[in-house]
Amino acid sequence: MVGKPVEFLSPERSRQLVELAERARTRLAQIGGRPVEYDATTLQLLDEWIDRESAPSQSLQVMWAAFLGEIFRRRHGGEWILHQGDGNQLAVLCPTEVGGVHRVDVTWHIARRIASGMAHSLALFYLREAALLRCPRDF
What are the residue ranges spanned by the domains of the chain? 7-133
pLDDT at 83: 87
Mean pLDDT of the chain: 92
The tens digit of pLDDT for each residue in 9-18 reads 999 999 999 9
**pLDDT (average), residues 49-76:** 96
> Cα(113)–Cα(121) distance, rounded to whole angstroms?
6
Q: What is the model's pTM?
A: 0.91
What's at 84, amino acid-wise? Q
The tens digit of pLDDT for each residue in 67-125 reads 999 999 999 999 999 988 767 899 999 999 888 999 999 999 999 999 999 999 999 99
> Contact, 32 vs 45, CB < 8 A?
yes
Straight-line distance from the first to the last Cα atom of the chain, in angstroms, rounded to the nearest whole number: 4
Report which DSSP code applies to 36. Answer: -
**pLDDT (average), residues 60-69:** 98
CATH topology of domain 7-133: Four Helix Bundle (Hemerythrin (Met), subunit A) (1.20.120)
Q: How does residue 4 score in pLDDT terms, banded at 50, 70 and 90?
A: low
Q: Is the pLDDT of residue 40 over 70?
A: yes
Kindly give, in sequence order, each residue whose CB lies less than 8 Å from that of residue 17, ignoring residues fewer than 6 positions away: 9, 66, 69, 70, 80, 90
